[in-house]
Each structure stands twice: as structure tokens, then as C-alpha cells.
Chains A and B, each alone.
Chain A
């Protein structure tokens, strides 16, 4: 007999409540409070858009009709059958550049967010768990970063290190880690007194192991949601930096710098509008997805049932 319970036990309301609260991954399937993600049309649209961009990025050389860097005499050709999105000042095919731009923006956004999550998460974990002066020092540091507008600080950092892709990513990590540190820290603080953590420590579990096994898995949820929301922001910031000439160096096909190129003469609207639309769709999709994820994982933010 493989019965787990030696006695038939009635479903306990407390158990049920704990169940819905604790298994946040299970909430992706809808739980009891709402529809599963794939039943929300907007979230589905976001997923489809992101999936599309991912495919475009992955197979860019196969899909793009032209080499994104190849110049041609047809400068500023308006959208036509040969160049669907037109060409830019150097006669480069904008469709191909937008498609190739996905290979830059999406992976870089992922890199920025994961690095920031890693750094911020680690510092938040340490601050929350150690408390006292370590916490105090780290939190003042986050305040310092929060005190500057993100884009200004990122500009200053990139300008200081020299404008290139690596430094742009670095700068954006530097401006975006504090928010993760804050979120993880507050999650850790709220569970620092939890009995299961005390129980593990009483059994002789060392602090690092307790952090890894007991603290981290129970505090990472909100940070993951935040990271999804921040992906869109990272795409935007990166585009802003390269718009200002502080990102990937030309002639790299980066959406932000493409928008910048077209903004010099808006009568050639297609030069900036198409990369702009690319940014718009990706950012919106990440935001919608992040919202949907948060509604699922964190019922406090859920909109009316």
C-alpha cells in the first residue's frame, strides 16, 4: 500500500490556503484565483510577439533579404517591393537591419537583466540575512544609485569607460541592480524569523547552506517577476544609450542608433519608424508578460477577480 496518509484526512482549509500561497509556480496554470496565462488574449499576443522576435533573431541570416551592413547606391529609398521597410542614408536595407537588430537588443537585454539580478540578488540576500551594518551600508548604496535618473547615470558611466557594447551593458547593470537587491532583501527580511529557517539553523545547518536552500527559493519569486518587467526597460535603456551614441558602435545594426539616424530628417520617416516599432513591440510584450506573471505569482497585485 502506498497511501501516504495512515488515516483518511479531510482537506484542511489551512492546508488549502498554504497550498495556494506557496506553490507559486503552480499558479501559472491558473490556480483558483484566475485564468491560466494562455487564456488571456493580451498575454498570448505578447508571447506570440516575443516568440516571433526570438525566431527572427535566431534565424536572422536566413530570413533577412539583405546583408544588414551592405551599402548600396539607393540611399533613402522609400518602402517598396524590393525594400519593404526602405533603405537608410547609406542605402542599407532597413528590414534586414531591424531583423539583425533583434540579435543585439534581445540577448543584451537578457544579459543586463540576468547580471543585475545576480548582483542585486546576491547583495540583497546578504543584506537581508546579515542585517545590521552590512544591511545599512548596502541599502545606503542602493539609495545613492536610486538618487540619479537611470539614464543619466548610465550615460556618465559609459562616457567614463568609453562607449562600446560591453561598457553600455556594464553601465546598465550598475544602474539596475539596486531594485533587485531591495526586493530580495525585503523578502529575506520577512522570512528571517520564519520557523523553518530557525529549525534548520538549530539542526546545525550552516549559514550559506541555509541561504541557498531555505532563504533563496522562498524569496526569488518576486525578483523573477520584476526581472521580466525590467527586460523591456533594458531594451529601452540600451536603445537610448545607442541613440545617444553611447552603445554598440556603428555600423552595428542597433535599434536605438537606427532611430537616431532617422531622427535627423523625419521626412524619411521609415528610417526611424520601423526600428522604433521594433522597440515598441518588444518592450510592450515584456511588460505585458511581466504583468501577467505578477498577477499569477503575487496575488496582492492581481486586478479585480
Chain B
């Protein structure tokens, strides 16, 4: 069976003040029907831009090469009407900042039903009924009352639930969630993660979850992609990826996060910072910060090559990596 979303060799270049800036290089990823896929990396690694590309939200002047197919449709060849159709029922998105994603002056009910009434041509009563169902589905207590509430009357967690309900209004098959829990407290985050997992189980929704938190990646997703400087550096089943990483960057990210061994100095910072777009070294982008780098790393960016069961890694050295995880 073909995957629901199939991105192949995607490259995106954005216009910059001093000429075009290559942001994404040779990104390939797939999401199956009803699958929870994670995309992780530090800020500026291109994970959000990937999402924008898949929703046709790139800024003007961007050039895109490669291919991206969603349920048989070639996304990159779409015109405005085509994009509206995809966004209106195929791919939906939730963002990190739910405050910015919701209109502050309209009730939750209005924001939920508007789409259904305009695009799905439902009458008011049917739209309201469906909206209440959706609010109930995302576990907002007392949905009838919530319909009449304004976003500012909700807590951060509730607003994010409402934003998810709105995203689900058009019955999308793929939900792209861009750091939806980063601004939330852990207990609230736990609720949102459980919600996404339940939606997948109950409705067959596929979710592409973008995060910088490897803990979230592991807790929620079954397959993961690690991004670095606009490239996929490692991919595979999330559990294996994070308990036995094969790319030094994945291992370094794991070392820099707290994992509860309680001894001072167990946080191992990654020296330096990621390269700015357009300033990546000629070889492997991680090479300047990598403890295992060899002269051969400096010649060309290593391709993503198979490394064991369902896994790929973009590293030519493939060192033996010690990873301390709980």
C-alpha cells in the first residue's frame, strides 16, 4: 500500500537578503494511514518549514524541488484552488501558539462551525451538532457552554484542544502538529498527547508530530525522523532510534537532555551551535560539532543509507555510540 504522505528528495530554497538560502536538502519522509510519526530537531533545523511546504504555506519567492504526494495528489503541482481543497479536507495543522491560531473576537463555536458551513455546506443546526461532537471528542468539558466561549476564557491546554477540534472539523486524514505542547505544562501536555493518540486509534487519523523534545517523540510516536541543518540525519522506529542511536547527533541530543541519573555533569552539552542556512560546511553539516568526525566527513554530505531494520542514517563513520538513557 502506498503511504498517505510520500515526500521524496524535497529541497526548499528561500530568498534571503544576500541571495537564495537553501533551507531543506534532500528530505524524504513518509506517513502511513493512521500512523504517528515524529519529526525532531533543534530550532532552525527545518522541521517547521517542512510542514509549511506540505500545506502550501511557503513565503513568496521560495523554490521547491523534489516531490510530495498526498493520497495520490502531487502537492507541489497544486494551484490555489487545489491547495484549498487539500487544506479543507486532507491535511490540517495545529500550531505551537494556540492563542495566535484562534481568532480572539469570535466564539469557539463560530470558529468551529464557519468552516463546516462554508466548505461542507452544512446548515446551522447540523454544524452546531457536529461542533459539539468535536469539542466532546477533544474532551472539552461542557461543550455546549464552550461553544459560546471566547478563546481568552480558556486555559492554554483548553485552547490547544479547541484548536485541534477546529483542525478536525474538515475530517482531515493527516494532522500536522507543530510543537503543539511546547508552551504547555507537562500535565497539560500529557493530556494533549493522550488525545492525539486516541484520535489516531478511533478515527484512523495520521499525525506528523513536530517537536524538539525527544521524550515526547518517544512517548507518542512509532517512527521518527531526526532533522539537522535542513536534512534528515537519522530515521527509524522511535524506540530503537532513541535507545540505540546510530548518528552522533542523535546521541548528542540524548546526552544533552536530563535523564535522571542525578550526578552533576551528566548533562553533556553539544559544543557550538547548528550552522546558519547557507553557511553549512561542505561535508556533513554536523561535522564541526561531532566528536567522531574523520577527514572523510568534510568532503560531501553523507546520504541517508539503510542501517538495520527499517532504519537509515546519514553518517559515514557510524561510530559505536555509548548512550545513557533511563
Contact = CB atoms under 8 A, between A and B. Distances in A.
10 contacts: A7-B271, A7-B273, A8-B272, A8-B273, A8-B275, A10-B44, A10-B274, A10-B279, A13-B44, A32-B17
Contacts of A10: 44, 273-276, 279
Nearest to B271: A7
Nearest to B289: A7
A11 B273 CA distance: 10
A36 to B, nearest CB: 15
Interface in A5-43: 7-11, 13, 32
A8 B288 contact: yes
Contacts of B274: 10
Contacts of B272: 7-9
A13 B17 CA distance: 14
A9 B273 CA distance: 5
B204 to A, nearest CB: 37
Contacts of A32: 17
**A contacts with B: majority SS:** loop
B88 to A, nearest CB: 31
Interface in B232-278: 271-276
Contacts of A9: 272-273
A11 B276 contact: yes
Given A8-B272, A10-B274, 6 more contacts: A7-B272, A9-B272, A10-B44, A10-B276, A10-B279, A32-B17
A7 B271 CA distance: 7
A13 B279 CA distance: 16
B285 to A, nearest CB: 11
Contacts of B17: 32
Contacts of B276: 10-11
A32 B18 CA distance: 13
Contacts of A11: 276
A10 B278 CA distance: 11
A32 B17 CA distance: 10
B273 to A, nearest CB: 5
B235 to A, nearest CB: 23
A11 B275 CA distance: 9
**Max chain A CB contacts within 10 Å: which of B17, B271, B273, B279?**
B273
Interface in B275-301: 275-276, 279, 288
B153 to A, nearest CB: 26
A273 to B, nearest CB: 50
B312 to A, nearest CB: 26
A293 B288 CA distance: 44
Contacts of A8: 272-273, 275, 288
Nearest to B275: A10
Nearest to A10: B276
Contacts of B279: 10
B18 to A, nearest CB: 12
A32 B274 CA distance: 24
A275 B271 CA distance: 70
A9 B289 CA distance: 12
Interface string A75-94: 00000000000000000000
A10 B228 CA distance: 13
B23 to A, nearest CB: 13
A82 B273 CA distance: 75
Contacts of B271: 7
Interface string B126-144: 0000000000000000000
B15 to A, nearest CB: 14
A11 B18 CA distance: 14
Nearest to B274: A10
Interface string A101-129: 00000000000000000000000000000
Contacts of B44: 10, 13
Nearest to B279: A10
A1 to B, nearest CB: 15
Nearest to B276: A10
A11 to B, nearest CB: 5
**Max chain B CB contacts within 10 Å: which of A8, A11, A13?**
A8
A171 to B, nearest CB: 47
B118 to A, nearest CB: 30
A25 to B, nearest CB: 21
A11 B274 CA distance: 10
A240 to B, nearest CB: 45
A71 to B, nearest CB: 64
Interface string B195-206: 000000000000
A49 B279 CA distance: 47
B100 to A, nearest CB: 16
B286 to A, nearest CB: 13
Nearest to B277: A10
Contacts of A7: 271-273
Closest A-B pairs by Cβ, 4 of them:
A7-B272, A10-B276, A9-B273, A10-B273
Nearest to A14: B43
Nearest to B44: A10
A7 B269 CA distance: 12
Interface string B17-29: 1000000000000
